[in-house]
Amino acid sequence: MLRVAPPAPPPGTVVAQPIAPATGSASAPLPPASAASAPRGPVTTATPSTGTAVPAEEEIAWSWPTAGGAVLAGFDEQKNKGLDIGGRPGEPVLAAADGRVVYAGAGLRGYGNLIILKHNNTYLTAYAHNQSLAVKEDQTVRKGQKIAEMGSTDTDRVKLHFEIRRQGKPVDPSRYLPAR
């Protein structure tokens, strides 16, 4: 289970704490991301997709991590912590939002060649089963930038397993991604 805790806010700062639903156990834990600076103020807004209060500077305009491809398996708290998206070997895998690479490697069984991006203090994304990685740890990436090529490492077919994690907990990416 991945547990990522943001750093404590400065004394005297008021920060809204969202309530997240309980989730089942993950098939394999994702490696921890290093902490970044705390939110700068108490301003919060409700996100339309979740209705949960998050700091205004934590809102993200997401994009799909592939140009096409059918969703092979949707989010399921017990069985699938993200979306499985079909595609062709070598098809570009794109950063779903601006961020920093906090993990790039094949050290987690079940994920194959994996990239994890940290977007802010609230959100991480994971991109699994790639045939090759185009970024390295600590590299900054832009939304829509090619970060990998789709493959079938540690899986039975070519696909991208894509996760969005909010405060360390898997959430349904289809509730955050724009309609296709």
**pLDDT, tens only, 42-89:** 333 334 444 455 555 578 999 999 988 899 999 998 899 999 999 999
Question: Looking at residue 104, what is its pLDDT?
Answer: 98
> How is residue 67 written in tokens?
């140009």
Question: Looking at residue 38, what is its pLDDT?
Answer: 36
Query: Are 99 and 125 spatial neighbours (Cβ–Cβ below 8 Å)?
Result: yes
> How is residue 50 written in tokens?
């979740």
Q: How many helices (H) and strands (E) are present in the chain, helices listed first?
A: 0, 12
Domains in the chain: ranges and CATH: 65-175 (2.70.70.10)
pTM of the predicted structure, to 2 decimals: 0.71
> How is residue 149 written in tokens?
């090529």
Which is more confident, 31 or 47?
Answer: 31
Lowest-pLDDT choice from 30-34, 64-68, 108-112, 175-179? 30-34
| DSSP state letters, 98-138 | SEEEEEEES-STTT-EEEEEE-SSSEEEEEEEEEEE---TT
pLDDT one-digit tens code per residue, 121-179:
999 999 999 999 999 999 999 999 999 999 999 999 999 999 999 999 999 999 999 99
Q: How far apart are CA 47 and CA 180, in angstroms?
A: 20
